[in-house]
Amino acid sequence: MTENGGGIKRRDFLVMAAAGGSIAAIGMLGGRFLIERVTGVPPDVRTAAPGGPRSWIMVIDLERCDGCRICTTACGKEHNVPEGQEWIKVYEVNEPDGPHYFLPRPCMNCENAPCVSVCPVGATYVRSDGLVLIDHNRCIGCRYCMAACPYNARYFNWGGSPELTPEEQAVYRPEYPVVHRRGTVEKCMFCAHRADEGELPACVRACPMKAIFFGDAREDAVSNGAEVWRLSEVLRERGGFRFKEELGTRPRVFYLPKEG
């Protein structure tokens, strides 16, 4: 396995994963991914009763992804992501007894997010629609959340000003923190500001292969902007899976495997 555009060798990846290093890998045994395929929408993501809040879900079709990283670029532009951060990383997977494919890794926006439980000041929290956000007015930069995240999906801001100007503070909101302050942690949040306006995340809109879908599990539907899929049906028929379910994090990102 190598990180596309990076240079992480598969052997190094496995060594770091085994040592609990900075890269969060999927559990592996005998060279194969340990995944638990689902037969429909798991009940833990149906957090809202009919008429209640949304229950946002992302689905990534590994059969379609070609590793172009346009999703990473679009995310960076949408959120003014600081240099050196990639809120969506794209990994290249080469298994000797399996298919070759590319794997995008956004924040999983876990239903049972470890980052939330370890935050000593309550800066990281889960909205009623399942999105995990960070209140940077409360974040103290302890980085406990980064250590707790099994997906390595959080980033520390080493640059920028430690404080917002009065004008910046007046428009600041955790859903769209485009001004990045030094000493705080950030991550993907499924473009919460766009979801609130009924729009698809920037990565979904930008993907030329239409490999990323987004939608409401409560409505059992996801879309890539061109197609609408019934979530439970596609997860069942394609053998959808979530990473590291054995940890009990209950990710809101599902993957459809590449066959062959």
| Domain 2-111+188-256 architecture | 2-Layer Sandwich (3.30)
Residue 123, C-beta contacts closer than 8 angstroms, at least 6 positions apart = 134, 135, 136, 138, 139, 140
The partner residues of 118 in beta bridges, in order of sequence, read none
Give pLDDT, residue 14.
32
Q: Tens digits of per-residue pLDDT, 221-252? A: 999 999 999 999 999 999 999 988 889 999 99
Least Cα distance to 154 among 74, 59, 89, 67 occurs for 89
pTM of the full structure: 0.83
Q: How far apart are CA 256 and CA 227, in angstroms?
A: 16
Q: Where are the domains of the chain?
A: 2-111+188-256
CA–CA gap between residue 206 and residue 212 (Å, rounded): 9
What is the rounded CA–CA span in Å between residue 232 and residue 222? 10
60 sits in the region (left: phi over 0; alpha: psi -120 to 50; else beta) called beta
Indicate whether 42 pLDDT > 50: yes
Split at pLDDT 50, 70, 90, the class of 89 is: very high
**8 Å CB contact between 141 and 155:** no
Note the pLDDT tens digit of each residue in 150-208: 999 999 999 999 999 999 999 999 999 999 999 999 999 999 999 999 999 999 999 99
